[in-house]
A and B are shown apart, each in its own frame.
Chain A
Amino acid sequence: AQSVSQHNHHVILSEAASLELGCNYSYGGTVNLFWYVQYPGQHLQLLLKYFSGDPLVKGIKGFEAEFIKSKFSFNLRKPSVQWSDTAEYFCAVKPYNTDKLIFGTGTRLQVFP
């Protein structure tokens, strides 16, 4: 079955630290890839997306992600986190032959000043 794995369930960082959140998926065909963020008390918001082309994708708020097809991975990175990045982050995959997004279980990020 198609699935998405987020290896880090809870990450705690100090401000200015670098961030990398792992995401791996199991699907051999063409995919769209997404990272969504959910700030406390708010709805899921799109952080960035990969449809095609350059595998290094830049999103809002200084986030970026790299699609490595050979590793079935789409890891999220940020060079220097801020307290305001405290949120839950969800990786999601959309296989070409379906209309639904398959989400990972999420990673809770806490950033301390």
Chain B
Amino acid sequence: GAGVSQSPRYKVAKRGQDVALRCDPISGHVSLFWYQQALGQGPEFLTYFQNEAQLDKSGLPSDRFFAERPEGSVSTLKIQRTQQEDSAVYLCASSLAKGTFNSPLHFGNGTRLTVT
């Protein structure tokens, strides 16, 4: 497709459940980012991939959060044992170049996760 695709658009999980969020970046884009956007806040960085290598995971809030991009294209963000504070919109973004210097990010529509 022409843009970054994320699925599902909406996810409701009971506290303690595991969830998996999918991101299909723009074809050929080397860099892939995950961001978390809480209500009323700006997006906050979670993790960054360059092809299949996870180069920065400093933003992952706990070891319950795990991301992978095994073949350097599609990425999955997994959250284990979800908590209410995990409720947020999870945004995926990709860029053509390595890193984002001189290469803008293209965002998906996000997955809105609600933990009840």
Contacts and interface: CB of A to CB of B under 8 A. Distances in A.
Interface residues of A, number: 25
A101 B105 contact: yes
Size category of the binding interface on chain B: 20 to 34
Interface in A1-42: 4, 6, 32, 34, 36, 42
Interface stretch (B37-45, B60-68, B70-78): B37-45
A23 to B, nearest CB: 11
Nearest to A88: B42
A54 interface: no
B55 A99 contact: yes
B45 A44 contact: no
B105 A43 contact: no
A34 B104 contact: yes
B90 interface: no
A99 B110 CA distance: 20
Interface of B: 3-4, 31, 33, 35, 40-45, 48, 55-56, 59, 91, 93, 99-102, 104-110
Question: Closest 5 interchain pairs by CB?
Answer: A103-B42, A44-B107, A100-B45, A99-B99, A43-B109
